[in-house]
């Protein structure tokens, strides 16, 4: 087994291939794999964290991830899956309102021997073609828009206190 220092130099795919969840490893090592995403964090509690994706496929692309490690939806307790779906629905409403997109697609792809269960919400805008190619659009650099970020964060935090 590689040392911790060697592991910190590996890509997420390489970690997954040797049976290490890159998401859990990232948390344990202070952002060593994906970097610190606190500037993108919209909501977190004991079950889930919700944040804008660091390399989004579209403006407003976000992720909902479980705090505890599950390989996929089939392993997570129903209460966690239900919570993720409720938050995803609310985020879809918020993203369409704040970003003005036409649709928000939801997907999960927890692939590999030890990946971490998460879902992604990917906006589609009116100028983009409909269809599954939106799941594999080119990734771009995250651009922080303080106004939109604060609107989304405030709306989801209001929702979380009301449920």
Return the DSSP state at 30.
Answer: T
**Among 99-103, 106-110, 125-129, 147-151, whose mean pLDDT is lowest?**
106-110
110 pLDDT more than 70 = no
| Interatomic CA distance for residues 138 and 129, integer angstroms | 14
Q: Nearest to residue 47, comparing CAs of 32, 33, 61, 64?
A: 64
Helix then strand count (H, E) for the chain reads: 5, 5
Q: Which domain holds residue 125?
A: 38-162
pLDDT digit string, tens, across residues 28-67: 888 888 778 889 999 999 999 999 998 899 999 999 999 9
pLDDT at 113: 67
Q: 124: domain CATH number?
A: 3.30.428.10
- Shared domain for 54 and 129, answered yes or no, is yes
This prediction has a pTM of 0.87
- Shared domain for 18 and 53, answered yes or no, is no
- Shared domain for 31 and 48, answered yes or no, is no
Specify which residues 106 forms β-bridges with.
121
- Shared domain for 92 and 143, answered yes or no, is yes
| Interatomic CA distance for residues 128 and 148, integer angstroms | 21
- Shared domain for 45 and 30, answered yes or no, is no
Question: Is residue 28 classed as helix, strand or coil in its secondary structure?
Answer: helix
- Shared domain for 10 and 47, answered yes or no, is no
Mean pLDDT, residues 70-86 taken together: 94
- Shared domain for 61 and 140, answered yes or no, is yes
CB 123 within 8 A of CB 152: no
How many percent of the chain have pLDDT more than 90?
A: 54
Q: What are the residues whose beta carbons fall under 8 Å from the beta carbon of 83, sequence distance 6 or more?
A: 47, 48
CB 104 within 8 A of CB 157: no
- Shared domain for 56 and 90, answered yes or no, is yes
- Shared domain for 3 and 53, answered yes or no, is no
- Shared domain for 64 and 118, answered yes or no, is yes
| Interatomic CA distance for residues 11 and 110, integer angstroms | 16
Confidence class for position 112, pLDDT limits 50, 70, 90: low
| Interatomic CA distance for residues 70 and 76, integer angstroms | 6
pLDDT at 61: 96
- Shared domain for 31 and 93, answered yes or no, is no
Token look-up 């030890």 returns 114
- Shared domain for 131 and 51, answered yes or no, is yes
Total number of domains in the chain: 2
């Amino acid at each position: 087994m590689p040392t911790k220092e060697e592991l910190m130099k590996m890509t997420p795919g390489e970690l997954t291939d040797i049976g290490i969840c890159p998401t859990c490893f990232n948390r344990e090592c202070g952002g060593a794999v994906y970097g610190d995403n606190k500037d993108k964090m919209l909501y977190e509690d004991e079950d889930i964290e919700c944040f804008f994706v660091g390399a989004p496929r579209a403006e407003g692309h976000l992720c909902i991830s479980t705090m505890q490690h599950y390989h996929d939806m089939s392993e997570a307790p129903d209460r966690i899956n239900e919570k993720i779906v409720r938050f995803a629905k609310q985020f879809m409403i918020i993203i369409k309102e704040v970003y003005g997109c036409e649709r928000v697609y939801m997907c999960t792809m927890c692939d590999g021997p030890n990946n971490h269960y998460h879902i992604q919400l990917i906006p589609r805008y009116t100028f983009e073609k409909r269809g599954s190619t939106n799941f594999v659009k080119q990734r771009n650099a995250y651009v922080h828009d303080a106004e939109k970020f604060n609107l989304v964060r405030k709306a989801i935090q209001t929702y979380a206190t009301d449920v």
